[in-house]
Amino acid sequence: MSVTVGVLSVQGDVYENVVASHEALNEMNISGDVIPVKTPSAISDVDVMIIPGGESTTIGLLTLAGDTLATLGERIRGGMPTLGVCAGLILLAGDVTDRMLGGTGQPLLKVLDIKLERNSFGRQRDSFETTLSLEPLGIADFPGVFIRAPSITAVSPDIDVISVYDNRIVAVRRDNIIGTSFHPELSGSTELHKYLIRMATK
Amino acid sequence: MISLAGDRDDASGVLHDKDSVRGTAKVKRGFAHMLKNGVVMDVTTIEQANIAEEAGAVSVMVLDKLPSDVRAAGGVARSASASVIRDIMDSVTIPVMAKCRIGHVYEARVLSEINVDMIDESEVLTPADESHHIWKWDYTTPFVNGARSLAEALRRIEEGAAMIRTKGEPGTGNVAEAITHIKRVNDEIRRAKSILDSGDKQDLMRLARDFRVSYDILYQTARLGRLPVVNFAAGGVATPADAAYLMSLGCDGIFVGSGIFKSDDAKNRARAVVLATTFWDRPAKVREAQEMIDEQQSMLGLDTTKLDLRMQERGADA
């Protein structure tokens, strides 16, 4: 059993996700590789995909520029285990507004039928750390790092809510897709990365 | 990996709420990590901010005047108008930064109250106190500082900077100084690393004393083989090729000042600089980006050896 983890490396905290994925593979004693990917052909070669944190408008514009977004959408619809973190969650969503500005009109993958509000907790001064429960994934205490984070304001019936903080949905799952408002790659915990890799081994 | 831990116990910018905490090194430095491989653009108006966002900038930096206009105007350069900053914050979804004068504690307090996402304690503005930079641990809002040597960068980080930008010479359209300084920082990190590898801890301590920084932060830097916070390049970037070259020297991203909005093809150039920064490791893509601009439209630029005002020297000795 060998798993290749791809991290979309257009913009954002790619390296942190590469490190967290390597640690997860080591801790699980699974052989495999972690590669930063930014072209459609590279995306075709991975078993698991992580869309990292960053600026969703930038990542969206730049992946669209190279047809990468379309290939990524096909693979995800085809069942590839995928984790979208913060900006990555925004790109997975179907409907995005900004807390202050309303509709954003940005390019999206639309693979999760959720409504999402950007900068939901406020600006950077309101970024925070807290402890979350991801009980539906069997993870009791998870360090939540929220940076200008979005929150999920509505979900369709096929979406599982994984975590709620301050009455706001901050993590969801549908089949092979997990999306979080917070940054597991900055948390010091590899539990979510391990969960994602485990999905590829089943 | 860069450690995001490193809070001081006495950092009053860290705020404990009922079941959460704000202003920690993790969320301040983490914010800078989200900007990596991106371009931060200087803007003075809502129109420029919108162009920057549409071009794919990761953030905008609000100034009263672009650096080249600051240079031309002379006089005292201060923070941008609060109303202009607020209007731009209300017009774009990407993070908004603004500059305060070096050492000007209250310009920084005001920017923090306006709720900008990051404060740049910048040599582009006229320094208020060149011998005392702001003690940045006391702010919940993260700071970025300029540096042209490893010693300067580490001193700023020890004061609480969450991000560094290596200085160029702002407002010149000449990338030469930015290249010199990133190479100097790289050389100095290699030197610290080779001392660490030799096992001579006393020599590393001597270097820390030379630099006027703690042994711990120099040790951490030497072990990482890079600065312990996100490091962007800045100063004099005018073309996509300038941006790609700086990325190839190991920078995490790019600040562009006058280079975009002092050119005559700002919209295309903004997009081209973003593309070249993302795909710097693929020369064919950089060529594509370079073809989006016209050298006839580049800002004229200045010879950095013949300047009356060298902004990069401001606050450098403190």
Give a yes or no: residue B282 inside a domain. yes
Length of chain B: 318
Q: Which of A19, A124, A128 sits opposite B141 (nearest CB)?
A: A124
> Chain A partners of B279 at a C-beta cutoff of 8 Å?
38
Neighbours of A169 (CB within 10 A): 22
Give a yes or no: residue B3 inside a domain. no
Residues facing B22 on adjacent strands? A128, B15
Q: What is the pLDDT of residue B112?
A: 98
DSSP string, B105-132: HHHHHHHHHHT-SEEEEETTSPPS-TT-
Q: What is the pLDDT of residue A66?
A: 60
Q: Quick one: closest CA in A to B37, which residue?
A: A11
Spell out, as residue ranges, where chain A has pLDDT lower than 70: 64-66
In angstroms, the first-to-last Cα distance of chain A is 10
DSSP string, A110-173: --EEEEEEETTT-SGGG-EEEEEEEGGGTEEEEEEEESS--EEEEE-TTPEEEEEETTEEEEEE
What mean pLDDT is reported for chain B?
94
> Chain B partners of A132 at a C-beta cutoff of 8 Å?
none
Q: What is the pLDDT of residue B4?
A: 73
Q: How far apart are CA B205 and CA B201, in angstroms?
A: 6
How do residues A58-90 score in pLDDT, each as one tens digit? Answer: 998 888 656 788 899 999 999 999 999 999 999
Give a yes or no: residue B188 inside a domain. no
Q: Which domain holds residue A128?
A: 2-201
User: Going by C-beta distance under 8 Å and a sequence separation of 6 or more, which residues neighbour residue B279?
Assistant: A38, B244, B285, B286, B289
3-class secondary-structure state, position B221: helix
What are residue A18's phi and psi, to 5 degrees?
-65, -45
Chain A interface mutation, best of B35, B37, B41, B279, highest count of A Cβ atoms under 10 Å: B37
**Which one, of A185, A181, A106, lies nearest residue A149 by Cα?**
A181
Q: Which long-range contacts (CB under 8 A, 24 or more apart) does B188-191 make?
A: B188/B149, B188/B150, B188/B151, B189/B150, B189/B221, B189/B222, B189/B225, B189/B226, B189/B227
Give a yes or no: residue B64 inside a domain. yes
Q: Quick one: closest CA in A to B15, which residue?
A: A128
Q: Residues B278-301: what's their mean pLDDT?
A: 90
pLDDT band at B73 (very low <50, low <70, confident <90, very high): confident
Q: What is the pLDDT of residue B1?
A: 59
Neighbours of A70 (CB within 10 A): 13
Give a yes or no: residue B212 inside a domain. no
Length of chain A: 202
**Cβ–Cβ below 8 Å for A54 and B27:** no
Q: What is the pLDDT of residue B303?
A: 78
The angle, 0 to 180 degrees and rounded to 10, between the axes of the packed helices B240-248 and B266-278 is: 20
CATH of the domain at B88: 3.20.20.70
Neighbours of B275 (CB within 10 A): 26
User: Going by C-beta distance under 8 Å and a sequence separation of 6 or more, which residues neighbour residue A1?
Assistant: A30, A31, A201
Q: How far apart are CA B255 and CA B263, in angstroms?
A: 16
Q: What is the pLDDT of residue B304?
A: 76
Task: Identify the burial level of B17 via C-beta atoms within 10 angstroms of its C-beta, where 0-12 means exposed, 13-18 middle and 19 or more buried.
Answer: exposed
For chain B, count helices (H), then strands (E): 13, 10
Give a yes or no: residue B310 inside a domain. no
Q: What is the pLDDT of residue B240?
A: 96
On whether the CB atoms of residues A38 and A90 are closer than 8 A, the answer is no
Give a yes or no: residue B280 inside a domain. yes
What are residue A77's phi and psi, to 5 degrees?
-65, -30
pLDDT band at B74 (very low <50, low <70, confident <90, very high): confident
How do residues B97-151 score in pLDDT, each as one tens digit? Answer: 999 999 999 999 999 999 999 999 999 999 999 999 999 999 999 999 999 999 9
Q: What distance in Å separates residue A80's CA from the closest CA in chain B?
A: 25
**Which one, of A145, A151, A188, lies nearest residue A166 by Cα?**
A151
Q: Which domain holds residue B136?
A: 27-175+231-299
- The position carrying tokens 């923070």 is B79
Q: How far apart are CA B96 and CA A180, in angstroms?
A: 24
Question: Which of B14-18, B90-94, B151-155, B303-307 has the weakest average pLDDT?
Answer: B303-307
On whether the CB atoms of residues B34 and A147 are closer than 8 A, the answer is yes
Q: Which residues of B171-182 are buried (b: 16+ CB within 10 A; e: fewer)?
A: bbbbbbbbbbbb
User: How much of chain B exceeds pLDDT 70, in percent?
Assistant: 99
Give a yes or no: residue B108 inside a domain. yes
**Cβ–Cβ below 8 Å for A10 and B37:** yes
The alpha carbon torsion through B213, B218, B220, B221 (nearest 10 deg) reads 120
**What total number of domains does chain A contain?**
1
- Active-site residue (options: B28, B99, B136, B167): B99
3-class secondary-structure state, position B188: helix
**Which one, of A75, A159, A180, lies nearest residue A113 by Cα?**
A159
**What total number of domains does chain B contain?**
1
Q: What is the pLDDT of residue B2?
A: 66
Q: Which of B26, B31, B53 sits opposite A129 (nearest CB)?
A: B26
Catalytic, A183? Answer yes
B contact set with A (CB within 8 A):
1, 4, 17, 19-24, 26-28, 30-31, 33-38, 53, 56-59, 89-95, 112, 115-118, 140-142, 274-275, 278-279
Q: How far apart are CA B178 and CA B67, in angstroms?
A: 15
For chain A, count helices (H), then strands (E): 6, 13
How do residues A141-162 score in pLDDT, each as one tens digit? Answer: 999 999 999 999 999 999 999 9
How do residues B11-66 score in pLDDT, each as one tens digit? Answer: 999 999 999 999 999 999 999 999 999 999 999 999 999 999 999 999 999 999 98
On whether the CB atoms of residues A7 and A17 are closer than 8 A, the answer is yes
Q: How far apart are CA B234 and CA B45, in angstroms?
A: 20
How do residues B160-215 score in pLDDT, each as one tens digit? Answer: 999 999 998 888 888 999 999 999 999 999 999 999 999 999 999 999 999 999 99
**Cβ–Cβ below 8 Å for B58 and A55:** yes
Q: Which of A19, A124, A145 sits opposite B117 (nearest CB)?
A: A124
On whether the CB atoms of residues B27 and A128 are closer than 8 A, the answer is yes
The token duo for B126 is 């006229």
The token duo for B305 is 């050896």
Catalytic, A129? Answer no
Residues facing A178 on adjacent strands? A83, A173
Amino acid letter at B104?
H
Q: How far apart are CA B196 and CA A108, in angstroms?
A: 47
User: Going by C-beta distance under 8 Å and a sequence separation of 6 or more, which residues neighbour residue A202?
Assistant: none
> Chain A partners of B38 at a C-beta cutoff of 8 Å?
11-12, 54-55, 58
The token duo for A62 is 């730049």
CATH of the domain at A179: 3.40.50.880
On whether the CB atoms of residues B196 and B223 are closer than 8 A, the answer is yes
Q: How far apart are CA B274 and CA B58, in angstroms?
A: 9
- Active-site residue (options: A16, A117, A185, A191): A185
> Chain B partners of A127 at a C-beta cutoff of 8 Å?
22, 27-28, 30-31
Q: Quick one: closest CA in B to A124, which residue?
A: B117
